[in-house]
Chains A and B, each alone.
Chain A
């Protein structure tokens, strides 16, 4: 089974509360600092987006549930800085950090120029095809069940529980993309064909709202089998 973040379809969360249009306002002064620290630290080059997502998902459920959004980011950032050897536990405890010696910082430094490049260039996930695409639009497919990482027990996957074992049809082929199940655990990129797969709401939910409603998920080839 997967983790606390995998909440699609869950009951009990109450109403959605809309907000004014436009650029969202930050609810507290530390929110933009948390965003900026997390984005900037990505520029240290020690982790990819899949590792960062997994670090947030691997928070203890009690922390994931009580932390505000950017608190999750900051907690995961602290965990990754330690696991990647950039910051020590002692430094987290005393909240200071030693100035670099003559050899310079251990990574970076992340500069204004560097963050401009990161924001402008992004990190494309498409790769040259490493395996032929098994499916074409219109094909019927079934997702694997249970939704789980096949390489690491409790590891990262992007197949939500609510869509595990469901039958749908391929809508479009996105090309080959890095497989998060490997990338999150430093097991290589393992790029695979990625598909948008449409599921009838009735294939996912006990009481669908409408007979023609659908949910579409982007799913890697190894998540799917032919029907």
Chain B
């Protein structure tokens, strides 16, 4: 069986130790060699700072709360349904929506890296990528939830989704009581990023 040659060759050690200088050196090398145009880097940063973020997923959740046919379609084939809303692309090629109920709470982690539904939620927060979350969410989800201030009823089961493939999971949180008069746009403003990862609940204003 071939051995993994990468174990014996770590050229990154040739770069300066300071991370800011490492990044700067790589950027200089790649742009000077004509491999990457500098404006392409600004485009990526602008996209994930200003255009793609959890407001996208919040629109999906609010629509699921207010449109039963949409909710049924979302739970059957989320990829197609959210693509129709314009939410598709890198790190969101295969989406599955999982719905919280009084019987079952869903929570998403990627123990092996940091897989996350970028077109719906943007780039992940630091805690999602942290060793603590990756290590503990699968083994003690309730204790992790308590660190987010979430206490579930004793008869609610927790289902933790470890994103080990290219399928990205969106949690559809429960609609809070007292929001019956609100329309989808107002509801979307209540839906937090963490509630769509499953580490938060949505509360009425």
Which residues of A are at the interface with B, using a C-beta cutoff of 8 A?
Answer: 5-11, 13-19, 21-24, 26-30, 32-37, 39-41, 43-44, 49, 53-60, 63, 67-71, 74-79, 81-83, 86-87, 89, 91-93, 95-100, 104-112, 114-116, 118-126, 151-155, 158-160, 162-163, 172, 174, 177-178, 180, 185, 194, 196, 198, 204-205, 209-210, 212-220
**Known interface pairs A16-B147, A92-B12; 8 further A-B residue pairs with C-beta atoms within 8 A, sorted by A's residue number:** A5-B113, A33-B45, A82-B11, A91-B33, A105-B35, A122-B93, A124-B94, A160-B164
Residue of B nearest to A90 (CB): B14
- A35 to B144: give the CA distance in the assembly, Å: 27
Smallest distance from the beta carbon of B182 to chain A beta carbons, Å?
A: 18
Residue of B nearest to A223 (CB): B164
- A97 to B109: give the CA distance in the assembly, Å: 39
Which residues of B are at the interface with A, using a C-beta cutoff of 8 A?
Answer: 1-4, 6-7, 9-12, 14-16, 19-20, 22-30, 32-37, 39-45, 47-49, 52-54, 88-94, 96, 109, 111-114, 122-127, 129-136, 138-144, 147-149, 157-167, 192-194, 199-200
Smallest distance from the beta carbon of A114 to chain B beta carbons, Å?
A: 7
Residues A160 and B43 in contact, CB atoms below 8 Å apart: no
Assuming the contacts A35-B45, A110-B35, asked whether A19 and B126 have C-beta atoms less than 8 A apart, the reply is: yes
* Contact partners of B40 in chain A: CB under 8 A: 36, 40, 43, 110-112, 114-115
Q: Which among B9, B44, B89 is the interface contact of A36 at CB below 8 angstroms?
A: B44
Smallest distance from the beta carbon of B121 to chain A beta carbons, Å?
A: 9
